[in-house]
Amino acid sequence: MAEMEAVAMNRQFWICGFVLFGGMLLNAQDVSPVTRENLEGALGNRSVLLVELVRQAEAGDNYAQYCGPNTYITGRGVLKNDAEAVRWCLQAARKGVPEAQNRMGYLYQHGIGVPQDYGEAVRWFSNAAEQKLPAAQHNLAHMYQYGEGVPLDYARAADLYGQAAAQGLARARNELGMAYELGTGVPRNATEAFNLFHLAAEQGEPSAQHNLGMMYFEGQGTARNYPEALKWFSQAANGGIVEAYRSLGHLYEYGNGVHRDYLKAAELYRKAAEHGIVAAQVELAYLYMTGKGVQRDYFESAKWFRRAAEQGHPIGENGIGYMYCRGEGVIRDYRQGADWLQKAAEQNYPLAQQNLGILYQNGLGVPLNYAEAYKWFTLAANSGMAASRRALEALTQIMTTTQLSDGHTRVSDWVSHHNNLKLAAQKAEARKLDSYETAAQP
């Protein structure tokens, strides 16, 4: 049986930490409709709101018909009634009120008061976007960005985000900044991304504040500046971006722009981890494993690695697999350890591939199989794992010609079968992939 050893964790802060709220559409409530002065007065006085709105809406006033749905959707001053909201909103939308058309798109996109129908959502967003309503341009861009109701088209999405951004819509500026950062629909341009994030952040857009902090942290599009990163991460956290707590935790853990404080880092990671931020769960697991900022607790470490693993994070899968192999925080179980390591290895995570090679080489939790061990060591070595290269050299000395041939075939088959991993990773990044390179090996 092979001796199991832990190694220092190699951890990096990746640019993938950008916050992309592509799933958030702008409802009509998020923009200021062009309402008449008397209706604004009525909105300020809830005691006369419903009566006044109904009277004017029934008289055919377009904007009363638009404003009416707000009361029924939110339940302010009247019982919540999605169907009634749709009825009034549809009347205004059919008369060409762009805010009402945007609202109808929102209702169809989310299935509020009507069956969910992306095609209808696109139709209404398009009608409003043609009238230059920034929120509708943003929402239509979202549909193109994610292929909802239309073929996926990053270039068209970027163009629409640009139209809304040109009118000063902060969220569109953030989305367009993401497009320039990732090169989706536009050429990669870190400087342009930085400028857009800065504009949106100054407008108070929390996701842009976090993204701007990342630019300062990484020195992308601007000079690296940890104090500025700290400033914007803090504002984003105050604005409700839970990912920002993880980013702040990283600054405190490594003393970037602040005095190193492991205890503070652990507190910040926990805030993000408890909200399901997978990278923070991995970081917190690492702190519990090493006893930095918290008392060393393998049970807590295993708990947080497991939570990350259950979200499909390869580093979390590798972490909990390692702990099963070591019997730390859990009862030693090589079979379960192998199962978790397999999940991470299939995601092309090099350290898990190396760990899985060790198990196959020694028949721990899996049948002893030199050809399979050869496959995983080779894949890990190809990703730069020096220990895997050494293990591979030693393994080939004891393998037969038949086993070596089998090993070569397994490597070729795996590479061929997983040739779409890069594309899948790019899509995941666009959807918001945040991860740290955290490692532990048996």
pLDDT digits (tens, 9 = 90+) for 27-66: 544 543 334 344 344 444 444 454 454 555 455 555 554 5
Segments of the chain with pLDDT less than 70: 1-81, 420-442
* CATH topology identical between 20-152 and 154-240: yes
Fold of 154-240: 1.25.40
Give pLDDT, residue 63: 53
* Token digits of residue 384: 């730069």
Q: Encoding tokens for residue 228?
A: 């500025």
| Residue 139, pLDDT score | 97
123: three-class secondary structure by DSSP: helix
Q: How far apart are CA 331 and CA 333, in angstroms?
A: 6
Residue 42 identity: A
Give the start-to-end residue ranges of the domains of the chain.
Answer: 20-152, 154-240
Determine the pLDDT at residue 247.
Answer: 98
pLDDT score recorded for residue 351: 97
Residue 325: the pLDDT is: 97
CA distance 210 to 272: 14
Q: State residue 81's pLDDT score.
A: 62
pTM of the model: 0.79
What's the pLDDT tens digit per position in 82-95? 777 788 889 889 99
Q: Report phi then psi at 191, rounded to 5.
A: -65, -45
Res 61: pLDDT:
54
Query: Nearest-CA neighbor of 136 among 124, 145, 147?
Result: 124
Q: What CA–CA distance (Å, rounded) separates 258 from 284?
A: 19
Superfamily of domain 20-152: Tetratricopeptide repeat domain (1.25.40.10)
The pLDDT, as a whole number, for residue 56 is 54
